[in-house]
């Protein structure tokens, strides 16, 4: 992280964290929509992009924590709170989306199984 104690650089750092966390959330939502449509490969690709964006946001967050740990001042602001809030929301969204994709796959498998049973029953 480059000179985060300077005003504009600090704001840019926080906006970069917000950008990556927001992108992670958007890609996670996109992955859930693909899963809902049964488009598993697209869902997985979007989820991987979401994880990549989340990793970038996490790196910035880790830099901020290292600043605090090394007794460098971390300027408190509403922007800092917002960036941390969005980061936590993105983590939650990613966890939810991973579970949602698995659930959609299970539901699809069950629907296929039920359709096969109904098909066999109608032949009897």
Please list the active-site residues.
82
CB atoms within 10 A of CB 70: 7
């Amino acid at each position: 992280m480059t000179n985060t104690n300077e005003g504009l650089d600090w704001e840019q750092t926080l906006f970069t964290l917000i950008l990556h966390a927001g992108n992670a959330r958007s890609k996670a939502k996109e992955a859930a929509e693909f899963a809902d449509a049964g488009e598993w490969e697209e869902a997985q690709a979007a989820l991987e992009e979401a994880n990549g964006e989340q990793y970038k946001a996490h790196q910035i967050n880790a830099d901020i924590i290292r600043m605090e740990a090394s007794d460098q001042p971390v300027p408190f602001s509403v922007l800092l709170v917002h960036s941390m809030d969005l980061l936590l929301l993105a983590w939650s969204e990613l966890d939810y989306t991973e579970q949602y994709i698995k659930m959609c796959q299970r539901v699809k498998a069950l629907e296929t199984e039920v359709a096969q049973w109904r098909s066999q029953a109608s032949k009897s």
